[in-house]
Amino acid sequence: MVWSRGTRPDGARHGTARSQASRSDAARSGRWRVNTDPERVERDLTCLVLTLVELVRQLVERQCVRRMEQGDLSDEQIETLGLTLMRLEEAMAELCERFDLSPSDLNLDLGPLGTLLPMD
């Protein structure tokens, strides 16, 4: 996809007055398009999938921490979850390296809402 890091082909950022005006102009004229680069489709799809996996990984990690703090888990469960989460984090790092992606590449800009993944 041509759109990355919250920008569009016309240079406007999502959520700005310029992008909203361009969007309504495009909708009226019927020329609203998503431009894709065939050479980047695999990388973009990989980035999207890894972004979703990273989001789920972080949500599971937060849920585990919450349950641990509440005392809902046994020592054995805490050990198992900790080891599993560490391995998943390592696997994510390896996949990012394999596809030449950085953690910031996985963090989608949601415009006025901020970024998809929290900045740790």
Task: Give the pLDDT confidence of 11-42 residue by residue, as tens digits.
Answer: 554 444 444 455 555 445 555 566 677 778 88
pLDDT (tens digit per residue) in 37-84: 777 888 888 888 998 998 898 899 999 999 999 999 999 999 999 999
More confident residue, 115 or 21: 115
Nearest to 54 by CA among 4, 15, 99, 1: 99
| Single pTM value for the model | 0.62
Q: What is the mean pLDDT of residues 108-112?
A: 79
d(Cα 53, Cα 8) in Å, to the nearest integer? 25
d(Cα 107, Cα 51) in Å, to the nearest integer? 7
Q: What is the pLDDT of residue 40?
A: 82
Nearest to 83 by CA among 55, 61, 111: 61
User: Which token pair is 46?
Assistant: 């990989």
Q: What is the pLDDT of residue 73?
A: 92
What torsion, rounded to 10 degrees, do the Cα atoms 71, 77, 80, 81 define? -40
